[in-house]
């Protein structure tokens, strides 16, 4: 299926970056609800006077201020049921557990405790940091980066800026060490964990995480302009581990990476198919990126992740990038002989310097999705819900000050003082070639069972099932996998195909590939299993496969994990929510 005509791999870079004026002082938004007025402070990333950025306004016609300026942001009012997830209480932090044996893991993920917490305000931007592509950095940059990491590693162990203390941040927020604050639970259970993955908190949490990590690096080398590199695994020229992370004597090196399958010149396998042909891998990867960023999302929650509030069970549902390309990179780099450690397991991922380079590209995906994907392809890009905007986290800053930050203050990277080097986006127009599937679906009606007759099921082998459409014709629809119960101690992944003609699961660069679910193993002292759900947009696939007028489709589920661990409660097709019009 690999096709040279679908291989646009030219990389371009603008020779200069726009000059960004200093953002003005913060404004205040007055939000009125039925119950009371809520006075919400916003930083410069949300204010009405945000400087114009031609590249964004040209593509989206946003005018000044961007997606989340006060001019464009209509915030859902707070009411008596408003319940944003709050920052954890440090003295309630505990050790994470190994689910396999119930014992404490080998480290305590908890940070130094203090009650001196400052509400953080993003400082005015006097000079924009430009995060560079990791494959294009200079020797001078590598020297500075290596020195900064080395100095972080040499800090006292109880210094919250110490490299391993920084790694523990991911462990604490992602492996059950933090509990929801008292009063945040509907029931009496005091052990409900705070989880920042598999929901709308994923992008904001990691953006703040990297923001302070980057500032600490700059502090280590007395260079406040220092910017993290991003591993641009979405571009063919970046689809290998960046060379600066491979020198064994460097502070950037980590020995717990997959030695056999991920070392250069091995090409990243975003599909984790096991394919070895580099050309097929690249075409698979570009198809996955197009799917993650454009084709597979009906609305903002399809990309960002589902709603998660206090009192909710963790893992309501991941967004497209989180459950696909993001997770695949983690597992592809991690050592499979040691359950994925370091990169391939939540509690150890931050121990590999490559983690932060990887997540810088994940953060870049959020920026690209907000501002570079044309609004006619993804029209709804804002979450204005009070509970989303006011969710909060705790981090130590570059001066060892514990600070509280909120989601509402990280919605625009420019307002936070950094941007990304311009790299070509070959996946932007990488829509897969059309397929015909009429005969296939007619045969399927005679050999496959209807969904209602086989669910719930354990996904331990390839499953084919006929699913009735919600509405015959070209209505916008989504495939919904409900009550997906997963064993959180394992790496799990499965792919979804519709009316697949050739059953070649190594080739993803085809119209029948609908999407992916993947999760990293984690260690937690509470539930070993969680339930989630997945929504996959069908609209473009119907056109690409010429099956819009059929009354049913054939869905193929292909597990790629080793052994079981996934149970799917139900599968159905629903009409997609109506797309919101972009802001005027």
Catalytic residues, which ones? Answer: 170, 197, 206, 326, 330, 346, 359
C-alpha 520/C-alpha 460 separation (Å) is 18
Instruction: Please answer whether residues 374 and 60 qualify as being in contact, where contact means their C-beta atoms are separated by less than 8 angstroms.
Output: yes
- Residues in CB range of 290: below 8 A, 6 or more apart: 427, 428, 429, 430, 431, 432
Please identify which residue in the block is written with the tokens 């931007």. 125
C-alpha 518/C-alpha 498 separation (Å) is 18
44 DSSP 8-state letter: G
Sign of CA dihedral 316, 319, 321, 323: positive
Angle between helices 202-220 and 139-154 (to 10 degrees): 90
Helices (H), 27-109: 54-60
**CA 332 to each of CA 335, 348, 483: distance values in angstroms, whole numbers, following the listed order:** 8, 15, 27
C-alpha 303/C-alpha 366 separation (Å) is 9
Residue closest to 17 by CA, chosen among 422, 424, 425: 422
Angle between helices 139-154 and 163-174 (to 10 degrees): 80
For the record, the structure tokens of 455 come out as: 């669910």
Residue closest to 553 by CA, chosen among 562, 564, 566, 544: 544
C-alpha 379/C-alpha 581 separation (Å) is 6
Instruction: Please answer whether residues 1 and 509 qualify as being in contact, where contact means their C-beta atoms are separated by less than 8 angstroms.
Output: yes
Q: Tell me whether strands 117-119 and 402-406 are parallel, antiparallel or unpaired.
A: parallel
């Amino acid at each position: 299926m690999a096709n040279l005509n679908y291989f646009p791999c030219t990389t371009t870079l603008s020779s200069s970056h726009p000059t960004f004026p200093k953002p003005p002082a913060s404004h205040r938004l007055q939000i009125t609800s039925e119950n009371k007025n809520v006075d919400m402070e916003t930083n410069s990333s949300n204010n009405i006077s945000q400087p114009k950025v031609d590249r964004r306004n040209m593509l989206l016609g946003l005018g000044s201020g961007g997606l989340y300026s006060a001019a464009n942001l209509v915030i859902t009012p707070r009411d008596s049921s408003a319940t944003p997830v709050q920052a954890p209480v440090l003295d309630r932090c505990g050790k994470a557990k190994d689910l396999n044996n119930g014992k404490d893991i080998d480290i305590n993920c908890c940070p130094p405790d203090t009650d001196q917490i400052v509400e953080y305000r993003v400082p005015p931007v006097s000079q924009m940091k430009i995060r560079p592509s990791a494959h294009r950095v200079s020797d001078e940059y590598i020297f500075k980066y290596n020195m900064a990491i080395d100095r972080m590693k040499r800090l006292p162990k109880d210094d919250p800026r110490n490299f391993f203390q920084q790694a523990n941040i991911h462990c604490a927020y992602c492996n059950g060490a933090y509990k929801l604050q008292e009063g945040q639970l509907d029931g009496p259970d005091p052990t409900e964990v705070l989880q920042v993955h598999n929901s709308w908190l994923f992008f904001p949490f990691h953006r703040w995480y990297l923001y302070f990590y980057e500032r600490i690096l700059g502090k280590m080398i007395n260079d406040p302009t220092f910017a993290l590199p991003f591993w641009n695994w979405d571009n063919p020229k970046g689809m290998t581990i960046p060379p600066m992370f491979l020198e064994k004597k460097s502070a950037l090196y980590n020995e717990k990476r997959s030695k056999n399958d991920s070392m250069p010149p091995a090409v990243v396998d975003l599909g984790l198919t096991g394919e070895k042909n580099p050309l097929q891998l690249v075409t698979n990867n570009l198809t996955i990126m197009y799917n993650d960023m454009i084709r597979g999302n009906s609305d903002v929650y399809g990309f960002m992740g589902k709603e998660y509030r206090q009192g909710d069970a963790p893992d309501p549902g991941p967004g497209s990038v989180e459950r696909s390309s993001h997770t695949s990179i983690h597992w592809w780099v991690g050592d499979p002989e040691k359950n994925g450690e370091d990169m391939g397991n939540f509690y150890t991922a931050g121990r590999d310097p490559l983690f932060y380079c990887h997540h810088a590209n994940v953060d870049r995906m959020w920026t690209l999705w907000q501002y570079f994907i044309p609004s006619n392809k993804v029209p709804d890009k804002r979450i204005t819900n009070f509970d989303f905007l006011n969710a909060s986290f705790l981090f130590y800053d570059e001066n060892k000050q514990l600070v509280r930050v909120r989601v509402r203050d990280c919605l625009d990277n420019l307002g936070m003082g950094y941007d990304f080097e311009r790299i070509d986006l070959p996946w932007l127009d990488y829509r897969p070639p059309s397929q015909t599937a009429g005969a296939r679906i007619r045969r399927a009606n005679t050999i496959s069972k209807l969904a209602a007759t086989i669910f719930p099921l354990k996904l331990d082998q390839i499953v084919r099932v006929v699913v009735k459409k919600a509405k015959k014709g070209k209505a916008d629809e989504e495939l919904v996998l409900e009550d997906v119960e997963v064993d959180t101690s394992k790496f799990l992944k499965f792919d979804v195909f519709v009316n697949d003609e050739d059953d070649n699961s190594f080739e993803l660069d085809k119209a029948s590939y609908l999407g992916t679910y993947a999760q990293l193993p984690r260690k937690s002292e509470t539930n070993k299993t969680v339930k989630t759900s997945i929504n996959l947009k069908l609209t473009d696939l119907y056109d690409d496969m010429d099956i819009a007028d059929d009354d049913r489709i054939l869905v193929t589920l292909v597990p790629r994990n080793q052994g079981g661990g996934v149970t799917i409660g139900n599968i159905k097709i629903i009409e997609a929510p109506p797309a919101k019009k972009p802001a005027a």
